[in-house]
Amino acid sequence: MDIIETIKDQIENNTVLLYMKGSPNAPQCGFSQRATQALMACGEKFAYVDILANPDIRANLPAYANWPTFPQLWVAGELVGGCDIITEMHESGELETLVKGAVAKAEA
């Protein structure tokens, strides 16, 4: 399986997926830390991929997503955005609505 197929598979098989530096319990940059805090506040489980441990994904995901930076949040197969968008959505309550809705739909 080539790297683009791997990325597609990860996005398709995880309702809420965060591509980040490090892990939710040990983020390796401030942007990833803010993104995980906002996601954790939604109260739903989410998958993550540590791009520092996966250099092929780190190199290829920006072109696939047409989004140059990390972290990247994907919900129900759609790119939500990076840290600023995640933070803004969290502050407005949109993030929790989106995440809980996607998880409920996936479980149904």
- Record the tokens describing residue 29, joined without a space: 């940059």
Residue 58 annotated as binding? yes
Is residue 28 scored above 90 in pLDDT?
A: yes
Residue 83 annotated as binding? yes
Closest by CA to 16, choosing from 53, 47, 60, is 47
pLDDT tens per residue across span 72-105? 999 999 999 999 999 999 999 999 999 999 999 9
pLDDT tens per residue across span 49-69? 999 999 999 999 999 999 999
Confidence at residue 84, expressed as pLDDT on a 0 to 100 scale = 97
Is residue 1 scored above 90 in pLDDT?
A: no
CATH of the domain at 57: 3.40.30.10
Is residue 13 scored above 90 in pLDDT?
A: yes
Residue 45 annotated as binding? no
Residue 34 annotated as binding? no
Confidence at residue 90, expressed as pLDDT on a 0 to 100 scale = 98
**Domain residues for 66?**
3-107
Residue 70 annotated as binding? yes
Angle between helices 83-92 and 94-107 (to 10 degrees): 90
Query: For the chain, how many structural domains are there in total?
Result: 1
Specify the DSSP element, H or E, that contains 18.
Answer: strand 16-20
